[in-house]
């Protein structure tokens, strides 16, 4: 386990430093590019990913790295880092203070460590497989809310929502009418971590990527939560659907998703 511990200590350092880097860009004049009609990338995304990949490459040159903006490096090794240098780029580009950095570590294809950092609130979420979920070093757990009508939920909309003909908006309306409240904040990694520590009770979304969910999924599970696809089946970070909850409202959420 020493190899995992070494990477844990290292990853805490670099994610905090990447957070400082993002804050240097925040509310400044950003260079913004479009990957799609509403899918943005900024020079802050590139700077953060470059820093993280360079640090990992110097410390653990044999490890693979999968990042959102520049693809994969050395992807067939024992360890694979999955990084999102800036989750919530649209928020960031509008100076809306809800975004995060996400770092997950796979060993032989199994996620064994996850960190999600919110530099605005200085909140570092962490999950180590078999050891629990933490916020700034203190153990966290999911809420005890047992009914959907008493729950606060979160969701996000895929970047192709303007063209998509699926039922994304219909599902949103169903949950708004069935839950106490629904929020749409724009950083899936933070939303899932909020379920892990009880600020939210459930979360659902379509068409997320591995770097959006790999770290947060582990944090939630280590905090007592449940993660599945929309039908309650096993979730894959490469899958199309994610449903997260405190476990107590999971079956109710599945019923809503099934209509």
Q: Give the list of residues 6+ apart from residue 170 with CB closer than 8 angstroms, or none.
A: none
Please report, for residues 19, 61, 204, 257, the alpha-carbon distance to residue 240 in angstroms, rounded to integers and kept in the order given.
28, 31, 11, 14
pLDDT tens per residue across span 135-160? 999 999 999 999 999 999 999 987 65
**pLDDT at 42 (0 to 100):** 80
Burial (CB count <10 Å: 0-12, 13-18, 19+), residue 227: buried
Gap between the Cα atoms of 85 and 89, Å rounded = 10
Count the domains in the chain: 2
Q: Do 52 and 87 reside in the same domain of the chain?
A: yes
Q: Do 104 and 219 reside in the same domain of the chain?
A: no
Q: Do 198 and 239 reside in the same domain of the chain?
A: yes
Query: Which of 139, 161, 187 corresponds to the end of one domain?
Result: 139
| Two tokens, residue 66 | 């999968």
Q: Do 152 and 61 reside in the same domain of the chain?
A: no
Using DSSP's 3-state secondary structure scheme, residue 33 falls into: strand
Q: Do 126 and 19 reside in the same domain of the chain?
A: yes
Q: Do 177 and 119 reside in the same domain of the chain?
A: no
Q: Do 115 and 230 reside in the same domain of the chain?
A: no
- Produce one character per residue of 82-115: b if its CB has 16 or more CB atoms within 10 Å, e if not: bbbbbbbbbbbbeeeebbbbbbbbbbeeebbbbb
Query: Which of 85, 115, 139 corresponds to the end of one domain?
Result: 139
Using DSSP's 3-state secondary structure scheme, residue 32 falls into: strand
Q: Do 222 and 96 reside in the same domain of the chain?
A: no
The rounded average pLDDT for each run of 10 residues, N- to C-terminus, in the chain (259 residues) is 89 98 85 57 88 95 84 72 94 94 96 98 98 98 98 86 71 96 97 98 96 97 98 95 98 95
Question: CATH code at 33?
Answer: 3.30.540.10
Q: Do 116 and 152 reside in the same domain of the chain?
A: no
pTM recorded for the entire structure: 0.93
Gap between the Cα atoms of 206 and 14, Å rounded = 29
**pLDDT at 239 (0 to 100):** 92
Q: Do 171 and 128 reside in the same domain of the chain?
A: no
**pLDDT at 69 (0 to 100):** 60
| Domain that includes residue 215, residue range | 148-258
């Amino acid at each position: 386990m020493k190899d995992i511990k070494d990477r844990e200590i290292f990853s805490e350092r670099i994610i905090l430093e990447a957070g400082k880097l993002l804050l240097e860009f925040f509310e400044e004049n950003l260079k913004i590019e479009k990957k799609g009609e509403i899918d943005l990338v900024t020079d802050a995304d590139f700077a953060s990913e470059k820093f993280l990949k360079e640090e990992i490459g110097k410390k653990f040159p044999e490890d693979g790295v999968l990042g959102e903006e520049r693809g994969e490096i050395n992807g067939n090794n024992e360890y694979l880092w999955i990084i999102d240098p800036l989750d919530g780029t649209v928020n960031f580009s509008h100076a809306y203070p809800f975004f995060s950095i996400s770092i997950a570590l796979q060993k032989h294809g199994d996620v064994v460590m996850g960190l999600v950092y919110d530099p605005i609130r200085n909140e570092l979420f962490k999950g180590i497989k078999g050891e629990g979920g933490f916020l700034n070093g203190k153990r966290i757990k999911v809420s005890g809310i047992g009914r959907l009508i008493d729950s606060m939920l979160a969701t996000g909309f895929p970047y192709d929502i303007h063209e998509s003909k699926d039922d994304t908006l219909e599902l949103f309306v169903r949950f708004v009418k069935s839950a106490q409240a629904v929020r749409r904040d724009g950083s899936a990694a933070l939303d899932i971590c909020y379920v892990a520590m009880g600020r939210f009770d459930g979360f659902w979304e379509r068409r997320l990527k591995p770097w959006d969910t790999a770290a947060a999924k582990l944090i939630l599970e280590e905090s007592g939560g449940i993660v599945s696809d929309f039908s309650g089946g096993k979730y894959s970070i490469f899958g199309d659907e994610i449903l997260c909850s405190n476990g107590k409202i999971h079956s109710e959420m599945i019923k809503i998703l099934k209509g």
